Amino acid sequence: MATYRIGYFAGSLATHSINRTLSKTLIRLAPPDFGFFEFSIKDLPLYSYDFDSEYPAEGNVLKDSITSADGVPFTTPPDVFTGDDEVIDEQCGTFPPELHGGISGSRCPGSEECGFGSSHSIRGERKVVHVGQPRMNEERFYLYPMKRVAAVLDDEDRYMATCHDLEQAGINLAEVNVLKGPEGQRILDNRGTSHGLLGRLMRRLQHGGYESETLAVHCEALSQGKWLIFIPVRGKNEVRRTVDILRSHAGSEIFHFRRWAVQFFPPNYRLKQ
């Protein structure tokens, strides 16, 4: 019998929409005590600010349905470069950072938090379900991975061990990006040549700065068959834990891409408590 009622939005009326497909995948991966139902949007009228003072009946039905749910997953991928610390929603309040991105959970008024993050476990009052692995060689322009720690790992064994420890430390692996091999080197695109005129311009602006040096180091590592990992971090404590994990698996060339600066961690450097 389902303990948690989880409502989901498909975002489209199409039978085979991407969001509906992702939601059905989530249902298959979820534990048996999660029961799912879809929020219907087919009867909603087109938006008009004339409705702000008094919602139409269809809108109130949807609103009540959301309020009655124990959790609401959002099937929308995080952006590597936003670095958002939290998600704000006027109806459901402030979501903790670990619930942002990927297939992530919300909290509705009067209900427990139901997150879809890193493991089948209970953290406080939050039920957390593992759905996702690091994004391997994902096609995107790695311009400036803000609020992420980047590091080089020597081989697949060290990469797998690192991922295991990151997951145990509460890092959502679905938000981790990984580049490897010639394909990873092409995607990192040190000169911006694969990303048009704008890509070349942005790389030229970075030339001569610390960002250009990190790019050169990481591209060289990829050319040697090593792995490059980008890990989202929020706050000094999470940075410290992440750096310690990377070092425990012989991680090298460790950089923290902060909002306004890139911080390098030499082998013997320790963050202050």
User: Within 13 Å of residue 180, how many CA atoms lie on the same side as its CB?
Assistant: 14
Question: Which of 19-33, 102-116, 158-172 tops mean pLDDT?
Answer: 158-172
Please check the confidence at residue 103 and state whether its pLDDT lies above 50.
no
Mean pLDDT within 79-83: 37
Other beta carbons within 10 angstroms of residue 184's beta carbon come to: 23
Query: Are 177 and 228 contained in the same domain?
Result: yes
Query: Are 83 and 176 contained in the same domain?
Result: no
**Phi, psi for 104 (deg, rounded to 5):** -120, 160
Mean pLDDT within 155-179: 92
Q: Which domain holds residue 102?
A: 4-128
pLDDT at position 107 is 36
Query: Are 18 and 115 contained in the same domain?
Result: yes
Q: Do residues 103 and 73 touch, judged by C-beta distance below 8 A? A: yes
* Least confident window among 63-72, 112-121, 131-140, 238-247: 112-121
Task: Specify the number of domains making up the chain.
Answer: 2
* Least confident window among 96-110, 121-135, 208-222, 224-238: 96-110
Other beta carbons within 10 angstroms of residue 169's beta carbon come to: 13
Boundary of a domain, candidates 128, 148, 174 = 128
Please check the confidence at residue 138 and state whether its pLDDT lies above 60.
yes
Boundary of a domain, candidates 70, 100, 128 = 128
Distance separating alpha carbons of residues 125 and 112, to the nearest angstrom:
7
**Strands 4-8 and 34-38, bridge-based pairing:** parallel
Model confidence, pTM:
0.52
Which of 167, 206, 177 is CA-nearest to residue 190? 206
Q: Do residues 153 and 159 touch, judged by C-beta distance below 8 A? A: yes
pLDDT at position 39 is 87
Query: Are 234 and 120 contained in the same domain?
Result: no
State CA 157 to chain mean position distance.
23
Residue with more model confidence, 261 or 83: 261
Query: Are 143 and 251 contained in the same domain?
Result: yes
Residue with more model confidence, 94 or 173: 173
Query: Are 199 and 171 contained in the same domain?
Result: yes
Specify if 271 maps to a domain. no
Query: Are 181 and 260 contained in the same domain?
Result: yes
Query: Are 187 and 87 contained in the same domain?
Result: no
Residue with more model confidence, 253 or 49: 253
184's CB contacts (< 8 A; 6+ apart) are: 137, 178, 222, 227, 228
What are the pLDDT digits (tens) for 5-61?
888 888 777 877 777 777 787 788 777 888 888 888 888 888 787 877 788 888 888
Q: What is the mean pLDDT of the chain?
A: 74
Specify if 73 maps to a domain. yes
Specify if 211 maps to a domain. yes
pLDDT at position 41 is 85
Specify if 273 maps to a domain. no
Q: What share of the chain has pLDDT > 90, as a percent? A: 23
Query: Are 106 and 185 contained in the same domain?
Result: no
Boundary of a domain, candidates 68, 101, 128 = 128
Specify if 272 maps to a domain. no
Q: Three-state SS for 94?
A: strand
Specify if 185 maps to a domain. yes
Residue with more model confidence, 77 or 271: 271
Q: What share of the chain has pLDDT > 70, as a percent? A: 74
Residue with more model confidence, 24 or 160: 160
Query: Are 117 and 206 contained in the same domain?
Result: no
Query: Are 143 and 80 contained in the same domain?
Result: no
Which of 103, 117, 129 is CA-nearest to residue 3? 129
What are the pLDDT digits (tens) for 48-79?
878 777 888 888 888 888 888 888 876 544 44
Query: Are 143 and 254 contained in the same domain?
Result: yes
Specify if 76 maps to a domain. yes
Q: Do residues 173 and 132 touch, judged by C-beta distance below 8 A? A: yes
Specify if 270 maps to a domain. no
